[in-house]
Amino acid sequence: MDNDVLIPVLAIGTIVVATVIAVWQRTRVAKIKHDPTRSAVISGHGEAPRPNRPGTEHT
């Protein structure tokens, strides 16, 4: 295969594979959290921090 064809095919293939993996991981996180809106990294940014879990308080 000629480089004029191989390089664009590999570039597009890499982007497609990376996108598929990112969507798969995002779906997996949403399923684990049982809430698709919480799987966003910055969805809770700026809100009050959540309370500590029992037994993890620092005194």
Instruction: List the chain pLDDT tens, one digit each, 59 residues.
Output: 788 999 999 999 999 999 999 999 888 877 877 666 655 555 556 677 777 778 777 76
Can you give the residue range of the structural domain that contains 31?
A: 3-35
What's the pLDDT score for residue 33?
73
What's the pLDDT score for residue 16?
98
Q: Does some domain include residue 27?
A: yes
Q: Does some domain include residue 52?
A: no
pTM for this one?
0.56
Number of domains composing the chain: 1
Q: Does some domain include residue 29?
A: yes
Q: Does some domain include residue 31?
A: yes
What's the pLDDT score for residue 54?
82
Q: Does some domain include residue 49?
A: no
Q: Does some domain include residue 53?
A: no
What's the pLDDT score for residue 35?
66
Chain centroid to CA 57: 30
Q: Does some domain include residue 19?
A: yes
What's the pLDDT score for residue 12?
97
Compute the distance between CA of residue 58 and CA of residue 50 in angstroms, rounded to an integer: 15
